Every structure is written in structure tokens, then in C-alpha cells.
Amino acid sequence: MAPDFTFHISHFTFKQKLKTMKLICIGRNYSEHAKELNNPVPENPVFFMKPDTALLLKNRPFYIPEFSNEVHHEVEVVVKINRIGKHIDEKFAHRYYDEIGLGVDFTARDIQQKCKEKGLPWEIAKAFDYSAPLGEFIPVDKLPDVKAINFELLKNGKTVQKGNTSDMLFSIDQIISYVSKYVTLKIGDLIYTGTPSGVGPVAIGDKLTGKLEGEVMFDFEVR
Ligand code: ZN
């Protein structure tokens, strides 16, 4: 019986390895946004993680969770990691991604504020189920300039957040280098690279549309 049991365990582990991925999110990466939340501009990238259960795909509606009265949208450029890496040097970081996307880092701002006051981790404000809508991806070589990507978020057809990745405090390559000192990056991992200013609350019935270089990357409803 023993060999058969071993086979099932290893088979299960193998499947798990293929399917799991993680979301790494960068905080305070645009100085105007750090200022609007009264946060100091950081010396190093600030990162936190969301589990894969945070993903919300295919323009499915986002349901405001019952535990928060103030869920904010944070539109963010998303980098999809395409090879495994640890201690990645900044000058080689560009080899670790070839697609750029757009997503939302939904944040229960009221809960996050309480966590901050108590010096507690942010997970319950950031990592909850479906807190990370993710849209389409564009190959890096189809972008006019990967170091200066224009993106915006429209709420009910009106632009509420507008950014350019050249305004990031830490570039995509610096983020990859920094994060990979601490955490091994694996194929399929996603890095949400931080939000520009203009974050604000969402309400039931809102329609959120994300654009990258003018292309619609996601378009979904808040319920
Ligand atoms: Zn964010």
C-alpha cells in the first residue's frame, strides 16, 4: 500500500505547484498618492501580498464585502512574471516579464486605517476574496515605451485616476530586484505595481473601466 500512497501525494503536490501563484502588491509607489494618504515617501519599495483567491477575472462584478463601509479603488499596472527567479539583479529584471496588464487593488480603507493605527498587518483590508480584479495583458513589445506606460481608471465614464509608470518611485525592474531578495518569483506570479493619486470609494452600481495606452483592459460593475 505504501508506494501507492506516495504516488498520490507526489502527484497532488505536482499539480499544486503548477496552479498556485501569488500576488505581490507595491504600496506608496507614486509620491502624489503617498501624500494623499499622509504616508511618508518610502526609502525602499513597500510590498504586501494577496492570495490567489483575491483574483477577480473576466470582468466579473465586484461585490462590496459586508465588513467594510469604505472600499477604495486603486488602479495599478500589473506585471506577469514568466520565469523563476531569486536575487534578480535590476539590470536583468526585464528578462522576467514580457506582458503588462492592468488591475485594481481594492482596499477596505476603513479597516486598513484601523490596522495602521494599531501597527497591525493589512491583510484583512487588502487580501480578501476578489479584491484583485485583473484585466487583459499586452505584450511588452507592443507597448510604445515600457518605462512610460499611460493608464487610467474611469468610474461611470469619468476619469478618476490617471498615471504614467515613469512617475513611479520604484521602477518595475527595481521592484523585481527588491522583492526577489526576499521572495522567490515564480511563473505566473503577478506584481501590482502601486497606484497613482485619485483613489476613492466605490458604491453599488458603479462601473469601473481601466485603460492602458487608450485600450480598454477591464470593464466591470460594482454590486
Ligand atoms: Zn495598491
Residue 19: predicted pLDDT? 64
Which segments of the chain are extended strands (E)?
Answer: 23-27, 46-50, 55-56, 71-73, 75-81, 97-104, 107-108, 132-139, 150-155, 158-164, 190-192, 200-201, 207-212, 215-221
> Ligand 1: distance of its center to the CA of 199 in Å?
9
> Ligand 1: distance of its center to the CA of 73 in Å?
9
Cβ proximity of 127 and 105 under 8 Å:
no
Query: How much is the mean pLDDT over the chain?
Result: 92
> Ligand 1: distance of its center to the CA of 132 in Å?
10
Q: For residue 48, what pLDDT band results from cuts at 50, 70 and 90?
A: very high
> Ligand 1: distance of its center to the CA of 26 in Å?
6
Domains of the chain (ranges; CATH) run: 21-221 (3.90.850.10)
> Ligand 1: distance of its center to the CA of 105 in Å?
5
Rounded Cα–Cα distance for residues 75 and 152 (Å): 7
> pTM (2 decimals)?
0.90
Amino acid (one-letter) located at 194? G
**pLDDT per residue over 142-198, tens digit each?**
999 999 999 999 999 999 999 999 999 999 999 999 999 999 999 999 999 999 999
> Ligand 1: distance of its center to the CA of 116 in Å?
15
Residue 77: predicted pLDDT? 98
Residue 101: strand, helix, or coil: strand
Q: Which residues contact 201 (CB under 8 A, 6 or more apart)?
A: 70, 71, 72, 73, 109
Cα torsion 115, 116, 117, 121: sign: positive
> Ligand 1: distance of its center to the CA of 76 in Å?
7
Residue 20: predicted pLDDT? 77
> Ligand 1: distance of its center to the CA of 77 in Å?
10
The more confidently predicted of residues 111 and 34 is: 111
Is pLDDT of 1 > 50? no
Cβ proximity of 29 and 172 under 8 Å:
no
Q: What residues pair up with 100 in beta bridges, in sequence order?
A: 79, 138
Residue 42: predicted pLDDT? 83
> Ligand 1: distance of its center to the CA of 10 in Å?
36
